[in-house]
Amino acid sequence: MENTASNTILLVDDETVNLMFLTNILSPEYTVYIAQDGQSAIRKAEEVSPDIILLDIIMPGMNGYEVLSVLRDKHETRDIPVIFITGLNSSKDEEKGLESDAVDYISKPFSVGIVKLRVRNQIRIINQMREINRLSVTDLLTGISNRRGFEHQMRREWGRAIREKLPISILMIDVDHFKVFNDTYGHQQGDAVLQEVAIAISRCVTRTTDFAARWGGEEFIVMLPNTEIKGALIVAENIRENIEQIPVYLPDGTTAQVTVSIGVGTTTPEPGDMNEKLISEADKALYTAKESGRNNVCH
């Protein structure tokens, strides 16, 4: 059986007996929250962001349709799937429920088996979507973020830096003479080095908002929000030293060394500024680092 204990469900029903019944059948497999009216359902949904909401339609005060409509208007709850679970059981009612953007519709009196299976189906879809999203931003070889994941994060932090008038730094990191390394030791050995380089970079990037990614090929990128040039150069130098010290064990028993060149760019962006400009600045600095002999940091 899949492990779904970390999946969360919010049950909303005005009748205690229904809540107890649903809790009994769902809590062995999922983490369950409850709410007994529309207002508290919306508050709870914002607070715990459940994976799915089972929503009664007929309730005093706000009815289920109204709750769903409010949930869809709020940024935090907009995407949470809702299953209506209701005593309204004509096919007209079911059609109306599905039309109002519910992912499924369960009529009362409900059978335990059907509730469990309908919920299981939706939870499966949610978990698969999450996995697809995770993979779409992960680099397969190194397991760190890929360029797409980086660009997403960069847009967020760039917006924040503009709003809060804070500096942001970028490090462009490129493995030196890596073509020769591949030609000499083979592509597989090259791949193993890229994995080690990714680990070393991740170790040096410690603040929670710092973000490292594989930019492509043998190039990596690091974003350091709220970091001036001085701090960025320290992180870059630390990365350079750590990578230089990676022992690359070769099949013949000897060890080789890899080095990287790093270009650093820093700016305090203003409204209208594009983050691509900062990245290209770091890229130019990287070029200078290569020109001036490699295994060094330039800005």
**Mind telling me the catalytic residues?**
218
* Residue 194 contact partner, candidates ligand GH3, Mg ion, none, CB within 5 to 8 A by sort of partner: ligand GH3
284 binds ligand GH3 (CB under 6 A): no
List all residues 6 or more positions away from 43 whose beta carbon is below 8 Å from its beta carbon. Answer: 35
CB of 260 to ligand GH3, least distance (A): 9
94 binds Mg ion (CB under 5 A): no
> What is the total residue count of the chain?
299
In the shown chain, the binding pattern of residues 180 to 219 toward ligand GH3, with x for contact by CB under 6 A and - for none, equals x-x----x--xx--x----------------------xx-
* Residue 294 contact partner, candidates ligand GH3, Mg ion, none, CB within 5 to 8 A by sort of partner: ligand GH3
Question: CA-CA distance, 246 to 166, in Å (whole number)?
Answer: 34
Give residues 166-205 in contact with Mg ion (rule: CB under 5 A): 174-175, 178
CB of 263 to ligand GH3, least distance (A): 12
CB of 197 to Mg ion, least distance (A): 11
175 binds ligand GH3 (CB under 6 A): yes
The CB density around residue 191, as the number of other CB atoms within 10 Å, is 13
Question: CA-CA distance, 184 to 178, in Å (whole number)?
Answer: 10
- Pinpoint the alpha helices (H) of the chain: 16-26, 38-48, 64-73, 91-99, 112-136, 147-164, 178-185, 187-204, 229-244, 275-291
139 binds Mg ion (CB under 5 A): no
Question: CA-CA distance, 192 to 197, in Å (whole number)?
Answer: 9
Question: CA-CA distance, 255 to 226, in Å (whole number)?
Answer: 38
CB of 287 to Mg ion, least distance (A): 10
Provide the token pair at 199.
């680990």
Which position has the token pair 């701090």?
Answer: 231
| Count of positions on this chain that bind Mg ion (CB under 5 A) | 5
Where along the sequence are the contacts to Mg ion (CB under 5 A)? 174-175, 178, 218-219
Where along the sequence are the contacts to ligand GH3 (CB under 6 A)? 141, 174-180, 182, 187, 190-191, 194, 217-218, 290, 294
